[in-house]
Amino acid sequence: MDFDLTDRQVYWRDRVRDFIERKVRPAVPTYVEQDKAGDRWKVLPVVEDLKAEAKEAGIWNLFMPPKSGAHHHVDETFEFEGPGLSNLEYALCAEEMGRVGFASEVFNCSAPDTGNMEVFHRYGTRAQKEKYLGRLMNGEIRSAFLMTEPRVASSDATNIETRIERDGSDYVINGTKWWSSGAGDPRCEVAIVMGKTDFAAKRHAQQSMVLMPLNAPGVNILRHLPVFGYDDAPHGHMEIELKDVRVNAEEAMLLGEGRGFEIAQGRLGPGRIHHCMRTIGVAEEAIAKMAKRLQSRVAFGRKVAEYSIWEHRLARARIDIEMTRLLCLKAADMMDKVGNKSAAAEIAMIKVQAPNMALKIIDDAIQAHGGAGVSEDFGLAKAYAHQRTLRLADGPDEVHERAIARIEFAKHSEAGEPGFSSGDIGVSR
C-alpha cells in the first residue's frame, strides 16, 4: 500500500489550502459582520466576491468523479465543467474546506448542491441539465434535497409518506418535508423531492424522485429549524409543506417512476463521505485552538499544557484524527476503485467514526478554553452543534452500525448475505 500522495493530489490540495489561507480565512471577520447585519436570509457579498475569485482561478466545481461503468445513465452530450477529481483527490480538498465553515461554498462545493449536481449529471435529461445544472455549475442558483419527513423514521427511507401522483400530464405532490437544508437561501430555485408514486409496488420500487421549483404554488415554507439555537442562515434548514404542488411529469421525473431508491443509493454514499472529509478539517481546527490555548493560559502557577491530563487529551486527539483520516481516505479510494456499493462498509464506518471523533476533540477544546469555549469568540460551540447534527444527518449512527454488523455477520455465516440494501442506510438532507 502506497501512502505517498500523487502529484495531482498534492496540486489540488495545495491550491485549495493556499486560497483558503490567503483569501477565505482573512475574510472571516467580514463574513461575520455581513451575516449579522439586516435580514437573516440573504446573499453575502463577501462570499460572492470570493466565489468569483475562485472561479477565475479555476478552483471550482471540484467534485464530480470520472464516469465509471456504474454511471451508464450519464448523458454525454452535456459536459460537466470541472477538473473531475476522484473521491480520493476530492477528500484532501474537502478536508481543507472543513477548516472554515463557508469555504465549501466559495469553491461551489457545498452541500446539498454537490450531491444534487451529481444527480442531475448522472440521471438527468439534457433538458433538465440545461435548465438547472448549468446554473448550479456557475454558482448562480442553489438547490435543496427533500427527503426527510417529520412524521416517520426517515432513517428507513421506505417509510416516506409524501405522495407523487400522476394527474394527466402533471404529477401532484403532497406531503411534509423537514431538515431541508439550503431552502432558506434566496437563490434556492429547485428541489429534488423523494416520494412515492406507487404504494403497492415492491418495497424499494415505490419511490421516485422529481424536480420541483421552490416557487411552485403549494410549496409553503412553514419554519426554519435551528440547530442547538443556530439558524445556519443564509441557507438554513426548513420544514416545508407540499400541498397539491403540480409539476410537469415529463420535465420533472428523474430516471423513471420507481427508481428513486436507485438514485438515492448513488447519491447518498458520496454525500456521507463528503461530510466526513470536512469533519477532519473541523477536528484539525479544534486541536490547533486547543494546543494554543493550553500553552497561553496559566492556572495554579503552571501553564495548563503542563498538566498531564492535557498531554493525554492532546495526544489522544492527534491519534484519533490520524486514524480517522486514514479510514476516510481508504473509503474514498475504494469508492473510486470498486464503486460505492462495494465500499458500503467503509462508508458506514467513517460516517460513524468521523463526527464522534470530532465531537470528542471539540469537547476537549471547549474544556481547555473554559468559559470562552462556550462563547461565540472561538467558534467551538457552533462547531460542536454542527458535528452533533452529523450523527443524525445522512442516517443516524445506529443505522450505519446495524449495516456494519450485518456485513460482519455475513462474513461468518453460511448464507454469506448481509440481508440489507445500502439504500436502507439513512437519509440525506
pLDDT in tens, 233-282: 999 999 999 999 999 999 999 999 999 988 987 776 667 788 999 999 99
Range 353-373 average pLDDT: 97
Q: Which residue has the higher pLDDT, 304 or 74?
A: 304
- Cα separation, 429 vs 408, whole angstroms: 28
Helix (H) or strand (E) holding 227: none
pLDDT of residue 68: 65
pLDDT digits (tens, 9 = 90+) for 184-217: 999 999 999 999 999 999 999 999 999 999 999 9
Residue 119's contacts (CB-CB under 8 Å, 6 or more residues apart) are 192, 209, 254, 263, 266, 267
Q: What is the DSSP letter of 159?
A: G
3-state secondary structure of 418: coil
C-alpha of 204 from chain center:
24
Longest dimension (CA), the chain: 79
* Integer-rounded Cα radius of gyration of the chain: 22
Domain ranges of the chain: 1-140, 143-258, 261-424
Contact 194, 148 (CB under 8 A): no
User: Exposed, middle or buried: residue 350 (CB in 10 Å: 0-12, 13-18, 19+)?
Assistant: buried
pLDDT of residue 70: 62
Contact 54, 107 (CB under 8 A): yes
Whether residue 218 is predicted with pLDDT greater than 90 in this model: the reply is yes
pLDDT of residue 423: 43
Which triple of cell numbers denotes residue 127?
Answer: 433538458
Percentage, residues of the chain above pLDDT 90:
83
1-140 topology per CATH: Butyryl-Coa Dehydrogenase, subunit A; domain 1 (1.10.540)
Percentage, residues of the chain above pLDDT 70:
94
Task: Give the pTM.
Answer: 0.92
Same fold, 1-140 and 261-424: no
pLDDT of residue 158: 87
- Cα separation, 390 vs 393, whole angstroms: 5
- Cα separation, 163 vs 206, whole angstroms: 10
pLDDT of residue 182: 94
Whether residue 340 is predicted with pLDDT greater than 90 in this model: the reply is no
- Helix, strand, coil abundance in the chain, percent, nearest 5: 50, 15, 35
pLDDT bucket at 421, cuts 50 / 70 / 90: very low
Mean pLDDT of the chain, nearest integer: 92
Helix (H) or strand (E) holding 230: none
Residue 410's contacts (CB-CB under 8 Å, 6 or more residues apart) are 416, 417, 418, 419
pLDDT bucket at 424, cuts 50 / 70 / 90: very low
Which superfamily does CATH assign the domain made up of 143-258 to?
Answer: Butyryl-CoA Dehydrogenase, subunit A, domain 2 (2.40.110.10)
Residue 413's contacts (CB-CB under 8 Å, 6 or more residues apart) are none
pLDDT digits (tens, 9 = 90+) for 294-339: 999 999 999 999 999 999 999 999 999 999 999 999 999 999 999 8
Contact 332, 377 (CB under 8 A): no
Q: Which CATH class is domain 261-424?
A: mainly alpha
C-alpha of 253 from chain center:
23
